[in-house]
Amino acid sequence: MQANATFEIKSWDEKPVHEAPDLPKITRVDATEALTGDIEGEVLTEYIMTYIRKEEVYFTRVTRVTGRIGERRGSFVVQGEGTYETGTASGGFKVVPGSATGDLKGLKGKGVFFAHQSMQGKFTLDYDLEG
């Protein structure tokens, strides 16, 4: 099955982890997002970001989604990675096995996200639900 949602970043708290001359800057971000669409809910994400240049960033993310997919409610965690280049953020993620709770228990899947010069973007999850 596939679920499509729109996300909107509600908060973004970025702090340096390591900065030094002639080295890529590394930062840590705590962010919250809202998902609407086939998936609705609150998203808490932690990013580790590496800035090669201002417009070239590589990142990893760990995200907890709390809400619903269709009529099923619960939460799940995804891990992923992505890039930000010239105003576009994109990447992929997978559901952490065993992380789903409530009616979403047994959730498996992977997906992609995309945002272009905006605090809003698209989130697509291809998934299976046991039970």
Residue 30: domain span: 2-129
CATH code for position 34: 2.40.350.10
127 pLDDT more than 70: yes
Whole-number pLDDT of residue 54: 85
**Closest of 34, 35, 29 to residue 17, by C-alpha:** 29
131 pLDDT more than 70: no
Using a pLDDT cut of 90, give the percent of the chain over it: 90
| Count of structural domains, the chain | 1
- Cα dist from 131 to 25, 48, 64, 104, 107, whole Å: 45, 35, 22, 9, 10
